[in-house]
């Protein structure tokens, strides 16, 4: 780094001192904390994004969001050139940068890293960063801090895209680096064109109103509701009733949104008895998660169709297209099978969903929580479908497989119309579903298209399998980092002894399964339990939560 660069960094450093006594780390989905603590961190992530852009010689994304967290929190994360999460290799540097107190330590840290990563500051390439934020009131000021960070790397340019969903930003970064037009309009056009293509390919021709009930969507009082209004305006094929859009004045994620619906399993605000039996969906605070639900008669209970059920619907559809494509004309499968399909879940996946997928003959892999892990694993297949139970997921298509489909689709028409259509459907799915990250808007369109294709109502979809009763709890502890897990978070290796007690508790319940893990987005330990009855799942989750509270918490639970 030259002197001009050093002095720019030193000068700006003094304007963004880190908050005292707080150590933040690049967790499950970037840095997250109370918004009042984040200015310095976001400024430093601006620097990080510019360095990442120089290193990769590509456009990088920086998103200000805390997604499902409460409105007073905020967060920041980086999208890599392919639109995915920032490489995990850079996370330790992100942590060290966020934590540097002394100006010279700060400068040395950057200097050493730049050298180690061979980042070049030549004039031929300058850093370029796309910036966006969700609807949180703290977003605008934090976005300014990010710009300040970016601008202290000589020549770096930032483009403020304003309020976007997280997946829109990831999509735009990916598109821009592929040389594709990358405005919000382009995003919606691609989604809607491929959705229409899927609808046109429905067996027996386009059918309107197969799902006679309207779709009712809870927008979490956030950016998702706002963008869904735009989508609705552009699409005549979908009749959507949007509730809790950010315009209605409700509080972001407060009694609404995919995280609330999935964890509490009750109706979100704005829904009630008039919606009984209707097809309802819920987005989270930055629209990267999607769940569906049915309002049950009497009270506020729902039947939840979570990420596992969305995954199962997608898997069934993709498997059907691959079978048609690979069928040899005599009812048997071609010996040169095209399109290896793989499924990726986490330990939160309901046991019934995993059994269902395995019974379909599919490969099911397990990773730790966090799309960065699931995405990496899913990219190993020709078609990799990943979903967390909380509704965060997508379908990845390997480029080679897509090129093969593209090159063969016309030739397939001379062999069989059905094979040709199966190829077209897979190509349409690859354009409809976000290839960068889980995206509630594109996921919703794909669910709707597949339900129409199958001629299914939400009730029929819900019957694919019956969930094992489950319960999720969270426990406040003194220091959540003391809990270390292994085997895709199914085993606690530290502190010693906890796992033995959890095992003993699990033994008290038929099909009892329980695990704990430190959250990467909230200051809590999460507890998940499932068993054959709701009472048993609740009791197992409670007893493990009490154990965690006694050993690591504040002893306030009974």
Positions marked active-site: 67
* Residue 111: closest CA among 125, 126, 89, 96: 96
Distance separating alpha carbons of residues 434 and 288, to the nearest angstrom = 10
Among 81, 167, 257, 370, binds ligand G16 (CB under 6 A): 370
Considering the complex, state which of residue 392 and residue 420 has its C-beta at the smaller distance from ligand G16. Answer: 392
Shorter beta-carbon distance to ligand G16: residue 67 or 539: 67
- Closest CB 485 distance from ligand G16, rounded Å: 11
Classify 479 as helix, strand or coil: coil
Please give the biggest Cα pair distance in the chain: 73
∠ CA(393), CA(395), CA(399), 5° rounding?
A: 140
Our finding on whether 284 is near ligand G16 (CB under 6 A) is yes
Interface residue with ligand G16 among 80, 306, 382, 388 (CB under 6 A) is: 388
Tokens 């899927």, residue?
198
Binding-site residues for substrate: 388-390, 517-521, 526
Q: Which residues are annotated as a binding site for Mg(2+)?
A: 67, 284, 286, 288
CB of 415 within 8 A of CB of 180? no
Tell me which of 41, 194, 367, 369 binds ligand G16, using CB under 6 A. Answer: 369
Binding segment (CB under 6 A) for ligand G16, from list 167-175, 293-301, 316-324, 521-529 = 521-529
Q: What are phi and psi of 32, to 5 degrees?
A: -140, 140
Query: Could you say whether residue 289 binds ligand G16 (CB under 6 A)?
Result: yes
- Point out which span in 224-232, 268-276, 365-373, 531-539 binds ligand G16 (CB under 6 A): 365-373
What is the spatial distance between Cα 558 and Cα 546, in angstroms, rounded to a whole number? 6
Size of the site for ligand G16 (CB under 6 A): 18
Contact status: 371 vs ligand G16 (CB under 6 A): yes
Told to check if 168 binds ligand G16 by CB under 6 A, we report no
Two tokens, residue 128: 């370029």
Does 136 participate in binding ligand G16 (rule CB under 6 A)? no
Q: Among residues 28 and 442, whose Cβ is nearest to ligand G16?
A: 28
Is residue 480 involved in binding ligand G16 (CB under 6 A)? no
Residue in this structure with the two tokens 């890599």, named with its chain if needed: 80
Q: What is the DSSP string of 505-533?
A: HHTTSTT-EEEEEE-SSSSSEEEEEE-SS
- Note whether 526 binds ligand G16 by CB under 6 A: yes
Please report how close the Cβ of residue 241 comes to ligand G16 at its closest, in angstroms: 24
In 3D, which of 370, 280, 366, 357 has the Cα closest to residue 77? 370
CA-CA distances (angstroms) from residue 159 to 54, 152, 173, 274? 16, 15, 11, 44
Measured from the CB atom, the residue of 218 and 288 that comes closer to ligand G16 is 288
CB atoms closer than 10 angstroms to residue 225: 26
Which residues belong to the annotated binding site?
67, 284, 286, 288, 388-390, 517-521, 526
| x/- map, 39-68, ligand G16, by CB under 6 A | ----------------------------xx
Cβ at position 518, least distance to ligand G16 in Å: 8
Cβ neighbourhood burial of 251 (10 Å; 0-12, 13-18, 19+):
middle
521 binding ligand G16? (CB under 6 A)? yes
Considering the complex, what minimum distance in angstroms separates the CB of residue 488 from ligand G16?
Answer: 13
* Residue 283 binds to ligand G16 (criterion: CB under 6 A): no
Residue found under tokens 């879940």: 345
* Kind of pairing between the strands at 363-366 and 484-486: unpaired
Q: Judged by CB, which is closer to ligand G16: 5, or 74? A: 74
Least Å from the CB of residue 73 to ligand G16: 10
From 511, 519, 534, 542, residue interacting with ligand G16 (rule: CB under 6 A): 519
Q: Give the residue with the Cβ less far from ligand G16, 320 or 523.
A: 523
Q: Which is nearer to ligand G16, 321 or 394 (CB)?
A: 394
Beta carbon nearer to ligand G16, 75 or 339: 75
> What b/e string do you get for 144-182 counting C-beta neighbours within 10 Å, with b at 16 or more?
bbbbbbbbbbbebebeebebbbbbbbbbbbbbbbeeeeb
Q: State the Cα–Cα distance between residues 454 and 149, nearest whole angstrom.
A: 50
Rounded CA gap, 52 and 128, in Å? 10
Residue closer to ligand G16, measured from CB, 345 or 499? 345
Residue 390 interacts with ligand G16 (CB under 6 A)? yes
Interaction of residue 170 with ligand G16, rule CB under 6 A: no
470-475 vs 383-387, strand pairing mode: unpaired
At closest approach, how far in Å is the CB of 526 from ligand G16? 5
Which of 44, 392, 420, 425: binder of ligand G16 (CB under 6 A)?
Answer: 392
Least separation in angstroms between residue 366's CB and ligand G16 is 14
- Least distance (Å) between residue 412 CB and ligand G16: 37
From 92-100, 246-254, 363-371, 427-435, span contacting ligand G16 (CB under 6 A): 363-371
How many alpha carbons lie under 13 Å from residue 508 in its C-beta half-sphere?
A: 15
**363-366 sheet: strands from edge to edge:** 363-366, 341-345, 383-387, 393-397
Residues within the interface to ligand G16 (CB under 6 A): 28-29, 67-68, 284, 288-289, 369-371, 388, 390, 392, 519-522, 526
């Amino acid at each position: 780094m030259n002197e001009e660069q050093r002095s720019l960094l030193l000068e700006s450093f003094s304007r963004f001192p880190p908050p005292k006594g707080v150590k933040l780390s690049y967790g499950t989905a970037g840095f997250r904390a109370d918004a009042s603590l984040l200015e310095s961190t976001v400024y430093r992530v601006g620097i990080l994004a510019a360095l990442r852009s120089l290193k990769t010689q590509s456009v990088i994304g920086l998103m200000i969001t805390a997604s499902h967290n409460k409105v007073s929190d905020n967060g920041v994360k980086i999208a890599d050139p392919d639109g995915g999460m920032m490489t995990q290799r850079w996370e330790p540097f992100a942590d060290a940068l966020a934590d540097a107190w002394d100006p010279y330590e700060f400068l040395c840290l950057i200097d050493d890293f730049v050298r180690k990563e061979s980042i070049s500051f030549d004039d031929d390439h300058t850093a370029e960063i796309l910036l966006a934020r969700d609807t949180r009131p703290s977003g605008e000021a934090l976005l300014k801090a990010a710009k300040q960070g970016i601008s202290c790397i000589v020549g770096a340019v930032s483009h403020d895209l304003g309020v976007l969903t997280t997946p829109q930003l990831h999509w735009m970064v990916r598109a821009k680096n592929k040389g594709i037009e990358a405005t919000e309009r382009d995003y919606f056009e691609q989604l809607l064109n491929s959705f229409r293509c899927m609808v046109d390919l429905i067996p027996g021709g386009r059918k309107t109103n197969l799902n006679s009930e309207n779709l009712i969507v809870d927008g979490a009082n956030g950016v998702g509701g706002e963008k869904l209004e735009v989508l609705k305006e552009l699409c005549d094929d979908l009749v959507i009733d949007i509730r809790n859009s950010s315009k209605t004045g409700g509080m972001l994620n407060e009694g609404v949104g995919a995280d609330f619906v999935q964890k509490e399993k009750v109706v979100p605000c704005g829904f009630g008895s008039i919606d009984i039996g209707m097809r309802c969906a819920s987005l989270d605070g930055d629209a990267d998660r999607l769940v569906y639900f049915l309002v049950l008669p009497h009270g506020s209970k729902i039947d939840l169709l979570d990420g596992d059920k969305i995954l199962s619907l997608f898997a069934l559809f993709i498997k059907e297209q691959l079978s048609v494509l690979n069928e040899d004309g005599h009812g048997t499968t071609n010996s040169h099978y095209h399109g290896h399909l793989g499924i990726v879940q986490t330990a939160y996946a309901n046991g019934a969903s995993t059994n269902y997928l395995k019974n379909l003959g599919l490969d099911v892999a397990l990773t730790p929580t966090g799309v960065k892990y699931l995405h990496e694993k899913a990219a190993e297949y020709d078609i990799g479908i990943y979903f967390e139970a909380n509704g965060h997921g997508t379908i990845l298509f390997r480029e080679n497989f897509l090129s093969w489909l593209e090159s063969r689709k016309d030739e397939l028409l001379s062999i069989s119309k059905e094979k040709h259509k199966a190829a077209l459907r897979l190509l349409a799915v690859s354009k409809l579903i976000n290839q960068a990250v889980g995206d509630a808007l594109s996921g919703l369109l794909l669910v709707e298209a597949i339900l129409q294709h199958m001629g299914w109502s939400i009730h029929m979809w819900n019957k694919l399998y019956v969930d094992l009763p489950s319960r999720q709890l969270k426990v406040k502890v003194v220091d959540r980092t003391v809990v270390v897990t292994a085997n895709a978070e199914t085993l606690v290796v530290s502190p010693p002894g906890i796992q033995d007690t959890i095992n003993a508790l699990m033994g008290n319940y038929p099909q009892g399964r329980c695990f704990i893990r430190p959250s990467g987005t909230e200051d809590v330990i999460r507890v998940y339990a499932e068993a054959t009855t709701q009472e048993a799942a609740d009791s197992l989750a409670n007893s493990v939560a009490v154990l965690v509270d006694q050993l690591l918490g504040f002893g306030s639970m009974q």
